[in-house]
């Protein structure tokens, strides 16, 4: 098995109903954190980790995503003419190489495992691949997928990103059964998708970054239905515990759950505060409104 990871699957077929009415007309992945679409953060993280081929699993109503990744020659021309070099650079940094992106449609909403399975023909029989859930936005000095690719070069097998969550929250996640705890790295003895807190094997939760062997796609072929009546990626990975092995990697960094409104707002505020061009003024503004609202209480 070669260990270089150069392809990533981005499941983006979800309807984004939690963000209605915004998502009535635009895909959730185009919604912006400060001034960049959610999907751009996932792409940048993948690129930093050495990903060269990007596979999007989409659905009806997602064509704005394809337009977003297209080059924009007229816009580039206008910016060039106007001498707006910085904006031109920002625009060009989102350009993708021709042939580097593939789109696959998921025709029915049958779960994350099914979405990944839809991309099976684009993954060769012996190559590992990454899966990135763009809803999980990561802020880290070294991009999280890069941390994992480096760790994976040592371990091989399958790897999921993981972090401790409060016990009462485990039913929102895939949860790890710890076979051996080596600190940053955990050898996984089992995985359970969305367990009840009292049944969860630990409070170590799977976060949306994966490096997987093609064997996972073979498990998904069985179309076994799991939690919530959906075909779960977690179940297919669990089936490899006794096969090529599964590791959970406690990443360094901050994770924002941008699948929820609260998480999206937290990411927005935190990313705005971290920006050189906006941070100082925005901090003063926030301090002001917090002070006023405290005084009014």
Q: Residue numbers of the site for ligand G1P (CB under 6 A)?
A: 112, 133, 136, 173-174, 193, 205-208, 233-234, 259
Instruction: Name the minimum Å distance from CB 293 to ligand G1P.
Output: 31
Instruction: Let me know: does 162 contact 210? Beta carbons within 8 Å.
Output: no
Instruction: Let me know: does 12 contact 31? Beta carbons within 8 Å.
Output: no
Roughly how many angstroms between the first and final C-alpha of the chain, as a whole number?
Answer: 62
Q: In the chain, what are the helix, strand and coil shares in percent, each to the nearest 5?
A: 40, 25, 35
Residue 4 corresponds to which tokens in the numbers above? 């270089």
Name residues whose C-beta falls within 8 Å of residue 4's C-beta, 6 or more positions apart in sequence. 50, 128
Instruction: Name the minimum Å distance from CB 176 to ligand G1P.
Output: 10
Q: Which is nearer to ligand G1P, 136 or 240 (CB)?
A: 136
According to DSSP, the β-strands at 246-250 and 254-257 are unpaired
Instruction: Name the minimum Å distance from CB 237 to ligand G1P.
Output: 9
Q: Which is nearer to ligand G1P, 37 or 230 (CB)?
A: 230
**Owner of token pair 């009535």:** 24
Instruction: Name the minimum Å distance from CB 122 to ligand G1P.
Output: 21
Q: Which is nearer to ligand G1P, 79 or 248 (CB)?
A: 248
Instruction: Name the minimum Å distance from CB 207 to ligand G1P.
Output: 5
Residue, CB closest to ligand G1P: 174
Residue 65 corresponds to which tokens in the numbers above? 């995503």
Smallest Cα–Cα separation from 187: which of 171, 202, 197? 202
CA distance 191 to 201: 8
CA distance 118 to 112: 10
Instruction: Name the minimum Å distance from CB 69 to ligand G1P.
Output: 23
Q: Which is nearer to ligand G1P, 157 or 226 (CB)?
A: 226
Q: Which is nearer to ligand G1P, 39 or 79 (CB)?
A: 39
Instruction: Name 58's bridge partners.
Output: 105
Residues in the chain: 297
Q: Which is nearer to ligand G1P, 157 or 259 (CB)?
A: 259
């Amino acid at each position: 098995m070669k260990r270089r990871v150069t392809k990533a699957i981005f499941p983006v077929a979800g309807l984004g109903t939690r963000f209605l009415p915004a998502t009535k007309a635009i895909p959730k992945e185009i919604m912006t954190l400060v001034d960049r679409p959610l999907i751009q953060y996932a792409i940048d993280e993948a690129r930093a980790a050495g990903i060269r081929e990007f596979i999007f699993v989409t659905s009806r109503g997602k064509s704005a995503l394809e337009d977003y990744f297209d080059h924009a020659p007229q816009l580039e021309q206008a910016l060039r003419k106007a001498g707006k070099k910085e904006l031109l650079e920002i625009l060009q940094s989102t350009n993708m190489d021709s042939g580097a992106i593939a789109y696959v449609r998921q025709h029915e909403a049958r779960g994350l495992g099914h979405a990944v399975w839809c991309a099976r023909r684009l993954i060769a029989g012996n190559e590992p691949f990454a899966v990135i859930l763009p809803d999980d936005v990561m802020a880290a000095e070294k991009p999280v997928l890069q941390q994992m690719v480096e760790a994976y070069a040592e371990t091989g097998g399958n790897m999921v990103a993981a972090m401790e969550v409060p016990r009462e929250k485990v039913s929102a996640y895939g949860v790890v059964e710890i076979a051996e705890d080596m600190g940053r790295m955990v050898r996984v003895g089992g995985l359970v998708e969305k367990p009840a807190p009292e049944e969860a094997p630990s409070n170590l939760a799977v976060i949306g970054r994966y490096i997987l062997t093609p064997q996972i796609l073979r498990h998904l072929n069985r179309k076994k239905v799991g939690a919530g009546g959906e075909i779960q990626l977690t179940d297919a990975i669990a089936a490899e515990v006794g096969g090529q092995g599964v590791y959970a990697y406690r990443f360094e960094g901050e994770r924002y759950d941008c699948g929820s409104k609260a998480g999206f707002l937290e990411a927005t505020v935190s990313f705005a505060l971290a920006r050189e061009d906006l941070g100082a003024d925005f901090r003063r503004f926030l301090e002001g409104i917090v002070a006023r609202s405290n005084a009014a209480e």
